[in-house]
Amino acid sequence: MNGNQFGRLFQMTTYGESHGEAMGVTVSGCPAGLELSEDDIQMELDRRKPGQSMITTSRGEPDAVKINSGIQDGYTTGTPIGMVIENKDARSGKYEPYVTAPRPSHGDFTYSAKFGTRNWGGGGRSSARETVNWVAAGAIAKKILDTQDIEVLAHVNQIDDIRAPPVSFEEIREHAEDNEIRCAHPPTADKMREKIDTFQKEGESIGGAIYFEARGVPRGLGAPRFDSFPARLGQAMFSVPATTGVEYGLGQEAREWTGSDRNENWEFDADGDPQPVGNTHAGLQGGITTGEPIYGEATWHAPTSIPKKQSTVDWETGEEKEIQVVGRHDPVLPPRAVPVVESMLSLTILDFLLLGGRLNPDRLDGNPGEYDTEYHPSSPRN
């Protein structure tokens, strides 16, 4: 089974199953000289871990990370960084009824069809449990980006048909972590929580969306065609389980705009360099960054494991049967997916920085130095 690596110069390689002994990730390509501790990683993992509230799975995983390579005296050495997160609360027995009777719309059948076998406990490798590795790697990427004055944020902007009004980058920074929904608009967060409660009581689940944004990204990252920034961004976001759509800029609304309305004129900035007027392109033109904020939205379908009775078939007995998935599952995914989205966006940006030779290693120790990210603030649409 391939497909366990992401990135080219800043690369993460992951392993582990939902109910296996541990999850793990190796990060290659991290520059030497970055001050890094397990606390830096743990802070991000705590945002993703289960059992945070009544709207997340009750699985009691501490998600405690152990760094076992790539660090000397508190600083990265430039060699691969290995991290392990043990699974402490796995209960595979509840999944035995689905060994030959796949859960509807899950990866149970397709994994078995492809490999002839699968780790059926908790969904094995197909489980969103795997994203704990991504957040661990993303924590390193976020810390490096911070030294380059690049900030990545996200928040839940829709659950079912309840959509938050546009909020500023500063509001996301200040309010996204204030509530269990991770919506930066508190009044909307309250409505979202009520809607989730309704679905939970019915044994149902529901989908939603996350708005993401990156500021301080320099111009000139990306390449034409298959290595364009949006192409790699799409790969990153669609890798997150249950993602059904990824948009940037105007997204689907672009089909309703004329060319003259969507096109961005040019002007000179204070340094005499050209810059686009407005940012309907979300900081991306020709697949390459313009220096403006990068922003977009990703959509998740409702979690497939639900308590409500459903129909399936048993491929050993040849019988149709009714199943009721029991266990510990999220009724909605976006609240816990926010740190995952931030991590995948951070990993994408950092990889492009290294590919373009745009990362300033002199700033890894936290000293500003002289480095122009060519950041031009503008108001995105969300």
What does the pLDDT look like over 169-182, one tens digit per residue?
Answer: 999 999 999 999 99
* pLDDT at residue 18, as a whole number: 79
On whether residue 368 sits in a domain, the answer given is no
**pLDDT exceeding 90 applies to what percent of the chain?**
66
Host domain of residue 191 = 5-363
pLDDT of residue 359: 94
Domain assignment of residue 373, yes or no? no
Asked whether residue 194 is assigned to any structural domain, the reply reads yes
192 within some domain = yes
Q: Would you state the pLDDT for residue 374? A: 43
> Which pLDDT does position 93 carry in this prediction?
61
Residue 183: which CATH number? 3.60.150.10
Q: Work out the pLDDT band at 116, boundaries 50, 70, 90.
A: confident
Q: Which has the closest alpha carbon to 380: 269, 240, 215?
A: 215
pLDDT in tens, 308-317: 888 888 888 8
Burial of 204 (0-12, 13-18, 19+ CB in 10 A): middle
Amino acid identity of residue 40, one-letter, is D
**In whole angstroms, what is the distance from residue 44 CA to residue 40 CA?**
7
Is the pLDDT confidence value at 99 over 80? no
Structurally, the chain folds into a number of domains equal to 1
Determine the pLDDT at residue 381: 53
For position 367, what pLDDT does the model report? 55
**Within a domain: residue 371?**
no
Task: pLDDT band for 3, please (50, 70, 90 cuts).
Answer: confident
20: pLDDT strictly greater than 90:
no
Residue 170 resides in a domain: yes
In-domain check, residue 372: no
- Best CA proximity match to 99, nearest among 85, 83, 117: 117
Is the confidence at residue 261, as pLDDT, over 70?
yes
Give the pLDDT confidence score for residue 327 in this predicted structure.
63
